[in-house]
Structure 1
């Protein structure tokens, strides 16, 4: 069996151990976090609001007998409760749903103290028979619409939808499949999944997992599995997958059925999801003690593990996981900072885990690059140059290129260095020095194919990825004249093109042909530079080009051209023409 690595990525926060205040006298039945406070509901019908230090902000009597369930809303400062009232008639159930506005308090002198109750609804009616409530969940749709799902021990789910504050509501009933073999059909867990216009409700019993498509009319039911779980072992992941805990494993469900499962032994007494981590209270059958484990499923590690007593409730607030114990003690556990977690992994050379960690927690690019650099350094030290370079390449744009270049120059790893320099150019981050170095790498490797691709691959690119003059100089000095000429011609650097033809190759005829193909003004400039050399080696052809330039252009252009090419000639026009004619004869 795979052994999960254990780390301490979480810690008990300073002052983390505290207790529910003595002013809260009842037994806690339910609790909810949100809006910078914790709200607890007790068996005496009271509701208490606690601050970050678990001090009582205020309390009020929400129900006459017992608060069974409650949930704080996120979009509005409302509290929805389900509790028992005094039964007024033998024909009517005493369980009611209430909506409180926590922004509005009862005026002084009122018969009751606490927030204003906006609505009271009886859950059970003649159309919706009474049963024991086993689960409760509120979904906030577009305000003021709420969708409340109430799971019962009969396998039924009563749903109330609408603007509860104005009693503009509709009620409907859902039913999971109940078979003769099912000893218990209680709804042990509920989970909403909202994607675009799609609204679905997962429902779990001890022997089944069902999915209701509420956006369809009537709602369509699918049975996803014939196994289920007990109460409190149901949660939703941040990807909106249903998660259930059984003694042998934790199972994930998507809308089309069971997904992955993870084998963790032990009774799953409480299951939750916190910032991408699976949170679980595991019971140990061999003792009365429990283990509180935080699992990083992506990296297959246990991010925290501690032995705890009996936990009655688990919730999240202030960036902490909060455990309320049966003895009313409270334990607050928070995640360590990223630097501390990475240091633990670096000490054990677990760089892949560190990389996955920064990705999964959406760390900024510079922090990710630093992890990749350290991993690259580790691999470089082991002389695993290829894998080290693959890490360094991922740091481009954040790590100074000279850091990497110097390492591979020292190690004489020209192939790896070439790869890095290519990536710099590909991403438009190369300097002239980088271009020089890359071309030198190609020429030293005699890799004409890559040189061709680098130089001539620019044909399909709008802007060149390298410095033109640098490329020409390097190719020319290495004897790759064709490549240097290609770059010069494409960039219209005529002076470089002719310099290579005449000074390096002695191709006078080709030089004259190239000059002939240029615009008159450009041709004149090049003749001014190289006319003397061309006259010496190919006088007839050179004079012929001069004659063409002088006779084909208009009078004004011809004078301008001659002034640019040979300043003395425009004063001795007749003489130049005469000399040309004599020379041709």
Structure 2
């Protein structure tokens, strides 16, 4: 017998042939040839033998537990069925010419009976729960089939003469039963099954399939005939429990009937002896096979098939030689199937664990079946993930890249489901999977499929920054501008939180610079601008507009809508280029920004007319504007320049602190006229916002230089420019940097500027002196010294140094003047005697006699100081020696107390007496505690002190305390050292006061 080729075969069940442990013994079990019925309850295997006896066998040990007589010996038990999921057993026994007997047994109670009771056959016949006698005419026809409903309130018995008898009653409680014939025909009954949802039973005969009502009076007629032309053989029908559909098996096919009509047919052309609906979607078929050998002898084989009706494949196939199957029954509580062969072998079939089933199917690379099986068994996502991955690898190896990528994408969805409970190991596994897929499709240059995979990876929130970078590169490679737009739309504007707890992607870690360069290389300027707007990078937007697209007008419009801080950064970098193409507009914008008058324009649609070609630079020359007032008139459309118009311009209060104008000075190279306008505007509004003085100085000196530069270049208007420079210098003589102004005036040969600066210079006297010095005019130098020496004492020292460097002029100086010069130097302490000698030593005409009197006077005063100091040292040494001796005496030697009178009351001393080391003595009664016991001091010294000496002692302690604190007052020390003429003396004083302790 060959099986249908369309049905795949698997071995998804384990089978175990069980030989009767008591085989060929005096008391065999299921190999007993007298066995007439066998079934399985919740706990036991039950079979009937020797006509009226029932034996219970433990399922696990296959050992006999109980054996008892259930009927009179003339009866033969032909049917035994358990009540579903219980140990209640329903048996039917027959005897020729006698009514059939139905009994209900509680096997749990039977097993609890004593052995003596069980061995008493007469007693055991009456241990049933319910007993019903079924009468069928003269009881001459055997029962062909037998069934009951789940609640055991209805029992149907089919006979070979075509009758069906329904017994109705509460048999679990033995409350009586009624019976009647509900169907009659001439065809033997081959099957009876109760519909669980309708009050009907399915009845099959050898020629028909029909339904019969279990209620009302049907007068033996069928309710509906489901099949008129084809019946069913005995044991070839069963009930689909979940749907209550009837399954019938013929040689050609399997038919399914509901309570109304036939619902479906499955073609399965094999001979069928028995069918049994098992758990899940399994159907057991017993197929008889007869094979004829070459010698003409035939042998009987039996093939067992278990079909998976949902997945349409054969889940198990077994051929049993030289034997037939006599009984088939299922153990529903443990999903085992038992088959008893005629040679006494009990075959136990058990479904393999689902993981083993999957491995069996996956070994044959039948991945679709494996997926269906895994889904039906509600396996975890990790198992489905593994199957999809193997499926994808299989398709990839076959070259089916489209199919493979679909399966890989399905894997990603499973990874996404586990994202909330994933650990580091799962992350590593997922990363390895992603890398393997990407590398695999990269090797075969299949960018389209790799892009689909990466896109799904990003959609599910599993992509990291590297994956997204590769995805964007693929988009660019494949010119998928719509996807690029969608990706950019996902990016939130700068400042908004870009976090998603379900996503691995950190948008802040993306390499946006790479994206920007990539879009620019591909010519996707619309997309790169979109991205830059999201990232709030106006600097790069302006760079692209100016350098890549040349859209200068649009660039000006855009930057006018930016906040002032962003605009300032852009102007610093791009003002030079903007001035080249849009000088007037750029100058106006710069003035507004640096004078505090800038207000952002309302933002317009940046992409409006985004495909307009680059701006065409106008060739017409701009008007030659040389002042801020003229510039304002130009902006207002005026045709007549008003030189003083700027003075009448009304400036609003600045809305922000204007930046330093020097930030953009470098941008005006080659644009001097615009620079003049800008500087004049900044100066005019400078005082309005009270800017930094240093900034104004920069503005003044820069504008001064630009005026002179324009005068040197524009000969026709040179006088006007010089006049502007002169006016600027005079009006701001107190603020402008005079040294820089003087240097610039010299550079451009601007004599008026040189004179003005010299007159206003703070060190004009010194400059005048040096000017006379350069001319060699000693009398002129003396005149300057006499006139300005008291205000500028430094001139005396400069005069002496000038005399020292002069080779001849020292003789022309009167001695009176020279001595006066030395007196002034001594008075103002400008030079030390040594410095004076060094200053005069370069002149060979200078003699020691010129400074002899000065030196003698200095030496005499120095000697006096030395003598005084020596006397002070001698005095200090004597005092120190005296104090040291006194201190040693006080601390080492005992003090002799010879006082006769109390220093307090002037009376004769009487004990108790208090003596002090200062040689004062007091009666204890004369000393008040508050007088000589001070408050607790910081150093813990609470000893009594002499009332007479206590003030002097406190003063000394306070002075010492001040000396100890002096080393912490470094600022006072530094200031005294700075102000003192004799710094060495200050340091010695501090050391003497203990600052180094």
Q: TM-score, normalised by structure 1?
A: 0.76
| Structure 1 residue 124 displacement after superposition | 3.5
| Structure 1 residue 104 displacement after superposition | 2.5
Contact residue 266 and residue 285 of structure 1 kept, 8 A: no
Matched residue, 2:400: 384
Counterparts in 2 of 1:440 and 1:214: CA distance versus 1, 3 Å? farther
CA distance in structure 1 between the partners assigned to 2:690 and 2:242 by the alignment: 87
CA distance in structure 2 between the partners assigned to 1:238 and 1:487 by the alignment: 63
Q: 1:228 aligns with which of 207, 228, 231?
A: 231
Q: 1:290 aligns with which of 279, 302, 314?
A: 302
Counterparts in 2 of 1:230 and 1:443: CA distance versus 1, 3 Å? same
Q: 2:81 aligns with which of 61, 71, 76?
A: 71
Structure 1: where are the runs of 5+ without partners?
516-522, 553-558, 580-585
Contact residue 160 and residue 169 of structure 1 kept, 8 A: no
CA distance in structure 1 between the partners assigned to 2:478 and 2:380 by the alignment: 38
Q: Which has the higher helix share?
A: 2
CA distance in structure 2 between the partners assigned to 1:481 and 1:68 by the alignment: 90
Matched residue, 1:247: 251
Matched residue, 1:303: 316
Structure 1 position 57 matched with structure 2 position 90: no
CA distance in structure 2 between the partners assigned to 1:176 and 1:577 by the alignment: 116
Matched residue, 2:191: 189
Cα deviation per residue 1:436-480 (whole Å; 9 max; x = unaligned)? 222221111112233345555899xx9897765539556423214
Counterparts in 2 of 1:174 and 1:124: CA distance versus 1, 3 Å? closer
Q: What secondary structure sits across from 2:129 in the alignment?
A: strand
Cα deviation per residue 1:365-418 (whole Å; 9 max; x = unaligned)? 322332332232222222221222222222222463333222112222111111
Matched residue, 1:395: 411
Matched residue, 1:418: 451
Contact residue 155 and residue 175 of structure 1 kept, 8 A: no
CA distance in structure 1 between the partners assigned to 2:276 and 2:99 by the alignment: 31
Contact residue 38 and residue 80 of structure 2 kept, 8 A: yes
Matched residue, 1:438: 471
CA distance in structure 1 between the partners assigned to 2:571 and 2:211 by the alignment: 88
Cα deviation per residue 1:478-517 (whole Å; 9 max; x = unaligned)? 214534554676xxx5524x354234335644544654xx
| Structure 1 residue 32 displacement after superposition | 2.1
Counterparts in 2 of 1:259 and 1:474: CA distance versus 1, 3 Å? farther
Q: What secondary structure sits across from 1:59 in the alignment?
A: strand
| Structure 1 residue 137 displacement after superposition | 2.5
Matched residue, 1:122: 133
Contact residue 247 and residue 268 of structure 1 kept, 8 A: no
Counterparts in 2 of 1:259 and 1:562: CA distance versus 1, 3 Å? same
Contact residue 32 and residue 40 of structure 1 kept, 8 A: yes
CA distance in structure 1 between the partners assigned to 2:560 and 2:144 by the alignment: 94
CA distance in structure 2 between the partners assigned to 1:211 and 1:500 by the alignment: 84
CA distance in structure 1 between the partners assigned to 2:544 and 2:65 by the alignment: 89
Contact residue 439 and residue 471 of structure 1 kept, 8 A: no
Structure 1 position 94 matched with structure 2 position 135: no
Contact residue 238 and residue 275 of structure 2 kept, 8 A: no
| Structure 1 residue 185 displacement after superposition | 3.3
Cα deviation per residue 1:175-200 (whole Å; 9 max; x = unaligned)? 4574xxx5x231x2233444xx6565
Cα deviation per residue 1:338-360 (whole Å; 9 max; x = unaligned)? 55555554554444444444445
Matched residue, 1:151: 158
Matched residue, 2:536: 495
Counterparts in 2 of 1:19 and 1:190: CA distance versus 1, 3 Å? farther
- How do 1:42-53 and structure 2 match up within 5 A? 42-51=49-58, 52-53=60-61
Matched residue, 1:277: 282
CA distance in structure 2 between the partners assigned to 1:427 and 1:528 by the alignment: 41
Matched residue, 2:328: 314
| Structure 1 residue 164 displacement after superposition | 2.3
Q: TM-score, normalised by structure 2?
A: 0.47
Q: What secondary structure sits across from 2:252 in the alignment?
A: coil
Q: Figure out how many residues of one structure are paired with residues of the other and give that number.
A: 539
CA distance in structure 1 between the partners assigned to 2:144 and 2:247 by the alignment: 18
- What do you get for the CA RMSD once the two structures are aligned? 4.5
Matched residue, 1:40: 47
Q: What secondary structure sits across from 2:300 in the alignment?
A: coil
CA distance in structure 1 between the partners assigned to 2:213 and 2:529 by the alignment: 68
Matched residue, 1:206: 206
Cα deviation per residue 1:113-170 (whole Å; 9 max; x = unaligned)? 59953222233389x99964222223325xxx64433333344444445642334577
Contact residue 4 and residue 269 of structure 2 kept, 8 A: no
Contact residue 564 and residue 598 of structure 2 kept, 8 A: no
Structure 1 or 2, whichever has the larger Rg, is 2
